[in-house]
Homo-oligomer: A and B are copies of this chain.
């Protein structure tokens, strides 16, 4: 499936394309050109074609890409064609919101377990998931859970990551405002909400 070196940026854009395609495919059009998609997403059409070519995704000259096929191919490249069982570590305000978040399903991601250290929370149900003790994180491998979301306070983020890695998790989405160190085989994507907000004022015009 790989065609030479693939820019990380291209991987980052693939879910954007997928989201746009899913939206546009609801309109029922059988095929879509790179220009159609580019206009919709406000990006450059060549960029889209080049990105697709990195992954060996090809369309029909003079026509475009078959919408359904394209969606399937992108899903397959991103390994979203199989459901990924995901665990949540830390069921505070943010964690609870993530459990209720409706957007994951679209991408074949399913939060199937939630963990917290607070004894008061353990056993409680949030969005149909029963909160378990963090001491049970070791069961993840047996339960075929390969992704995890860290939504614990910063000071315990690294410790949580260590446990998750030991439990066989292969990818971590980190919401804590901390840099996390893991073995190279594990991928971490970090979202620091405050840091994104912190960039906004810079772009504000005077007045």
Contacts and interface: CB of A to CB of B under 8 A. Distances in A.
Contacts of A185: 205
Contacts of A77: 202
Contacts of A19: 177, 192, 195
Given A19-B177, A202-B77, A202-B78, A107 B197 contact: yes
A205 B170 contact: yes
Interface of A: 11-12, 14-16, 18-19, 41-42, 77-80, 84, 86, 92-94, 96-98, 100-101, 103-104, 106-107, 109, 146-147, 149, 170-173, 177, 179, 185, 187, 189, 191-205
12 contacts: A15-B198, A15-B199, A77-B202, A78-B201, A94-B97, A106-B194, A147-B197, A147-B200, A170-B204, A171-B201, A187-B204, A189-B196
A201 B100 CA distance: 21
A187 B171 contact: no
A15 B195 contact: yes
A98 to B, nearest CB: 7
Given A100-B93, A101-B93, A187-B204, A78 B199 contact: yes
